[in-house]
Amino acid sequence: MNAPLLVLERLAKTFKRRWGWRRAPDLAAVRDLSLEINRGDLFGFLGPNGAGKSTTLRMALGLIHPSAGRVLIDGRDLARERLAALRKVGAFVEAPSFYGYLSGRKNLELFASLSGKIEHGEIDRVLERVGLLGRERDPVEVYSHGMRQRLGLAACLLPRPELLILDEPTDGLDPHGIRDVRALLRSLVRDDGLTVFLSSHLLSEVENLCNRVAFLDQGVCVAQGELAELARRHRRLTVRVDLPDQAALVIKAKLGLDADLLLSPEEGLCLAPGVAPEAVNRVLLDAGFPVRALEPEADWLARFFLEHTTSREIEGAAA
Amino acid sequence: MSAFLALLRFERAKLTGRAITWVPFLVLTIVVALIVAVFHRLQFNHMLQLLRAAFNLGGKDDFVNGYYMAAHAMNPVFQMLIPLFVVVAAGLMVAGEAERGTLRACLVRPVSRRALILSKFALLTGYALALCFFLLLLLIGAGILNFGTGNLYTLNVLFHNGNEGASMIPEAEMPMRLLAAGGLATLGMMVLAALGILVSALVDTPAMAFVITLSIYFACLILRLLPDIDWLYPYLFVTHMLRWQQCFFSYFRTGEILVSTIHLAGYLIAFLSAAVLLFEERDIKS
Ligand SMILES: Nc1ncnc2c1ncn2[C@@H]1O[C@H](COP(=O)(O)OP(=O)(O)OP(=O)(O)O)[C@@H](O)[C@H]1O
Ligand SMILES: [Mg+2]
């Protein structure tokens, strides 16, 4: 029961390329990637454009064959038992796609029929959950982008999967939609016991939603772990206090920590990650410094992301 | 088995739900109406002269009848119009879905790639059958209603008989001959459907699939028209696809027709197996 639900084991994918008629150097889109997604995880897969997120998800779903490595879903090797493995999965890669000339409901019925029988009323249930009830008779070609995205989520929920693999699920949604989808994903994990593996480059989304994350850069996993643990290790602390330079000396003496002075005395001190706010508070109060505020760094994830990933398109990744 | 049935229902719903599926039926109806109108108006003087030299015919009504119209109209329609419809449907079925992204939406579900291709082929075959039978019924029905029945007189060159002159098939034999010709022509369309699925399974856009499949088909047709390469004909699948024409020779050549039937079945199995094997290995990148 404690075995991971989805295991990516030393996955790699190299694409052959062409520039016009000429063969170009091969492109290593994913290199030696290993991840484990446990039951109950809401796992965020982060990386800049072109990092290889969608390529990884395609491999995890058997759409493209890995150049090396393997994928296990609930212990089943995707290369050998693809059908049995995929029975537990609801997924879309890139944008969800549908038959535009058929109604939303018909699309759901048809796609669900590929995975097995669904119970009566199940379609209404998922339409309700994604907020499309009332529009399900319209042909999908008249749906807006966000409505398609919602329908894509609805399709993933039929028939009752254990694992959702979603490529940028909130892409193109309005603020209501984003809020609804996040609430939906949370409730699926908490109330229905699902496991979610989602890719995104929206940091706030991942920070709000996920308990575990992995960072992909140029096809390589550069960091992964519990979000809370990463925060503990990498989130800085800002201390607002009068006489910050003297307070810094106190912190150095009592806690052995270097504290950087922020630009203006108003702004206070910035402490390196890993320090417990209560300890700083106690030390400063004991020394008679009234602490005005202790603020954990707000955009630490963005800083972490920028520090650990490159903004350039894959360069020098040619194998 | 139930998974395959689900796939068949899935493909059927997609095929019948789409407007473009029904256009060919409309086109065929219009074409047959045009043919009937033309047969009413034409004098066939040149034809009559040739047939008079071979048989003792009095006028147009002696040779223009429903069977005559059906047998002569089959040729262009089965060589050009129906192949076009089948190839377009084949291109849309796999490459079209790859382009629109619905192929990957199917394949992230527990669906075997082999079953997917086979179910698409099954539906395409059903579609080709429907088109062929629709056309044959319409041609023969409209022909008989407008021009009655009678013996079939044909010029041998029209059907690549190899002989000069003309042939006559008695009226009583005609239903059987038409059935055989229609059946064989339909089998030919199934082979083209298999080729269409094979190409469609390997390319990323339906346009590419149309161009490649139609090029293969028409290139073979052109090769068959070139003189002095008769030795090549038996190896071209279109030779066997067009073998139904022999059903209108004065002597029914059972042997040759059987050989072509076997060839067609062989091509069908070969194209389809290749489609399944190559599609299993393919990366779905779209
Ligand atoms: N079929 C292909 N042939 C060649 N290169 C490809 C192919 N598919 C993807 N790539 C390359 O692989 C790399 C990873 O692409 P991928 O789509 O996985 O990125 P991504 O992380 O999903 O990016 P985004 O955030 O923009 O969606 C890119 O450099 C891309 O150009
Ligand atoms: Mg992507």
pLDDT at residue A314, rounded to an integer: 46
Going by pLDDT thresholds of 50, 70 and 90, the confidence category of residue A63 is: very high
Q: Is the CB of A55 under 6 A from ligand 1?
A: yes
Residue B257 lies in a domain: yes
Question: Which residue minimizes the CA distance to atom 10 of ligand 1?
Answer: A29
Query: Inter-chain contact A63–B283, Cβ cutoff 8 Å?
Result: yes
Instruction: Note whether B14 contacts A: Cβ–Cβ < 8 A.
Output: yes
B4 CA: distance to closest CA in chain A (Å):
9
Residue B36 lies in a domain: yes
Nearest to A97 among B7, B100, B281 (CB): B100
Question: Which residue minimizes the CA distance to atom 18 of ligand 1?
Answer: A52
Q: Is A30 helix (H, G, I), strand (E, B) or coil?
A: strand
pLDDT at residue A97, rounded to an integer: 94
Euclidean distance between CA atoms B194 and B78, whole angstroms: 16
Could you tell me which residue, A76 or B168, shows the higher pLDDT?
A: A76
Which residues from chain B sit within 8 angstroms of residue A99, using beta carbons?
Answer: 14, 17, 102
Does position A74 have pLDDT exceeding 70, yes or no?
Answer: yes
Q: Could you report the per-residue pLDDT of A258-310, keeping only the tens digit for each?
A: 777 665 556 677 777 777 788 888 888 888 888 888 888 888 888 888 888 88
Q: Is the CB of A314 under 6 A from ligand 1?
A: yes
- ipTM comes to 0.85
What one-letter code names the amino acid at A116? G
pLDDT at residue B55, rounded to an integer: 80
Which residues from chain B sit within 8 angstroms of residue A65, using beta carbons?
Answer: 281, 283
Mean pLDDT by 10 residues, chain B (286 residues): 89 94 96 93 80 78 86 88 95 95 94 95 94 93 92 74 73 90 92 96 95 95 85 86 85 86 95 96 89
pLDDT at residue B155, rounded to an integer: 76
Euclidean distance between CA atoms B99 and B282, whole angstroms: 15
Question: Which residue minimizes the CA distance to atom 11 of ligand 1?
Answer: A29
pLDDT at residue A56, rounded to an integer: 96
Q: Are A31 and A12 in contact (CB under 8 A)?
A: yes
What dihedral do alpha carbons B94, B98, B101, B107 form, nearest 10°?
70
Query: Inter-chain contact B283–A98, Cβ cutoff 8 Å?
Result: no
Instruction: Note whether A106 contacts B: Cβ–Cβ < 8 A.
Output: yes
Neighbour count for residue A295 (Cβ, 10 Å) = 14
Which residues from chain A sit within 8 angstroms of residue B92, using beta carbons?
Answer: none
pLDDT at residue A319, rounded to an integer: 40
pLDDT at residue B164, rounded to an integer: 63
Could you tell me which residue, A289 or A15, shows the higher pLDDT?
A: A15
Which residues from chain B sit within 8 angstroms of residue A163, using beta carbons?
Answer: none
Nearest to B110 among A63, A87, A92 (CB): A87
Going by pLDDT thresholds of 50, 70 and 90, the confidence category of residue A317 is: very low
Q: How many beta-carbon pairs under 8 angstroms link A with B?
A: 78
Q: What global pTM score does this model have?
A: 0.89
What one-letter code names the amino acid at A161? P
B116 CA: distance to closest CA in chain A (Å):
10
pLDDT at residue A242, rounded to an integer: 79
pLDDT at residue A186, rounded to an integer: 93
Read off the pLDDT of each residue in A184-207 and give the average, rounded to a whole number. 91
Q: Is A98 helix (H, G, I), strand (E, B) or coil?
A: coil
Helices and strands (H, E) in chain B, number of each type: 13, 2
Nearest to B110 among A83, A102, A106 (CB): A83
A4 CA: distance to closest CA in chain B (Å):
20
Question: Which residue minimizes the CA distance to atom 9 of ligand 1?
Answer: A55
Ligand nearest to the backbone CA of B286: 1
Q: Could you report the per-residue pLDDT of A107-163, keeping only the tens digit for each?
A: 999 999 999 888 888 999 999 999 888 898 999 999 998 899 999 999 999 888 999
Residue B286 lies in a domain: no
Determine the length of chain A. 319
For an interface test with A, the pick among B5, B109, B284 (most A C-beta atoms closer than 10 Å) comes out as: B109
A97 CA: distance to closest CA in chain B (Å):
5
Residue B265 lies in a domain: yes
pLDDT at residue A297, rounded to an integer: 82
Euclidean distance between CA atoms B277 and B263, whole angstroms: 21
Rounded distance from Cα B183 to ligand 2 centre (Å): 49
Chain A residue with Cα closest to B102: A97
Chain B residue with Cα closest to A164: B108
Residue B134 lies in a domain: yes
Q: Could you report the per-residue pLDDT of A198-247, keeping only the tens digit for each?
A: 999 888 889 889 999 999 999 999 989 999 888 888 888 888 887 777 88
A186 CA: distance to closest CA in chain B (Å):
23
Does position A75 have pLDDT exceeding 70, yes or no?
Answer: yes
The domain total for chain B is: 1
Chain A residue with Cα closest to B10: A110
Euclidean distance between CA atoms A212 and A196, whole angstroms: 10
- Buried b or exposed e, range A215-229, using 16+ CB within 10 angstroms: bbbbbbbbbbeebee
Could you tell me which residue, A307 or A29, shows the higher pLDDT?
A: A29
CA torsion sign, A136 to A142 to A147 to A153? Answer: positive
Range(s) of the domain holding residue B59: 2-281
